[in-house]
Amino acid sequence: IKFEVLSGLTVAILKVPESVAFSFVAGVHPLQGLYGTFFLGMIASVMGGRPGMVSGCAGALAVVVRVIMSDEGPFRDKCLWDRREFVFFTMFWCGVMQVVCGVLRLAEGAKMISQSAFLGFFNALAIVIGSSQLETFRKPKGNLEGTGALETHGTAVGCVPVNFGASGNADWYTFADKETWLMLVHIVVVMSVIQFLPKVPVIKVPGTKSTVKPANILPPCLVGILLSMVIEWGIFRGALDVSTTIVKDVSPIAGDPPQLHIPDVDWGEWESYARCLPISASLCAIGLVESIL
């Protein structure tokens, strides 16, 4: 049970920054990503899963969900709070479709997918996820919460201000801004750790015949995040008196647990299904293919 406990602790630690990051990619509040990951992980543990099954936030799905939350998407005439309800509605039907696919054993069709299609899928996925994260190079705009001011979201006007990433970005950082270079330092450091830590050779434990591989004890993603925090708070803010945008500058990670409720959309209106079902089908297909591959 020791290995299960250590694995669970490692995954739990890593899921926090991952859930927050993918929440920003999707354009939803970080608490939604955190609680969603928690409940999904608990359900998968209780009901039973399988090796390789995705039971947490997935970058591929977050990119598609962002289409719903985007001002350029099919819901640009809705305020962000309303778009979030359509996200719940869309994900509900995505789950229904995946259950149907499981019952019909459609995963058998993956055997007919060529190796080149596999490579194309993963490469395209990496490009899409990477492109979506370019939004982090935008400057956070002032928080309107509590001022009584109303926002414009897409073509919707008079919207209640929100305090999460979908409406927290304004102008792009430029190479003339020092924050740009500081963020690039973070990116290079974290990517270097993730790339090269697994390549550190096996180390012999002094006084014993045992050997250990550093990457098996210290997950590269966790080491990269911790090192980035040390650089930000110990060097940038502590010694140089400069800073980069952190999570709390974009959205607070605090609040009450989400309440169980039925998505607040018009279930009897065909327009709701016409807008959401195509996205649900895309999410269903991506989720199934990603899990199978």
Contacts within 8 Å (CB) and 24+ apart, 49-55: 52/291, 53/291, 54/287, 54/290, 54/291
**36-74 pLDDT per residue, tens:** 888 888 887 787 766 656 677 777 788 888 889 888 888
Q: Which phi-psi region, left, alpha or beta, contains residue 250 (left: φ > 0; alpha: ψ -120 to 50)?
A: alpha
Burial of 16: CB neighbours in 10 Å, binned 0-12, 13-18, 19+: middle
pTM of this prediction? 0.76
Report the pLDDT value the prediction gives residue 66, as an integer from 0 to 100. 85
* Residue whose entry in the numeric block shows the structure tokens 């008196």: 241
Local structure of residue 236 (DSSP, 8 states): I
% residues pLDDT > 70 (the chain) = 86
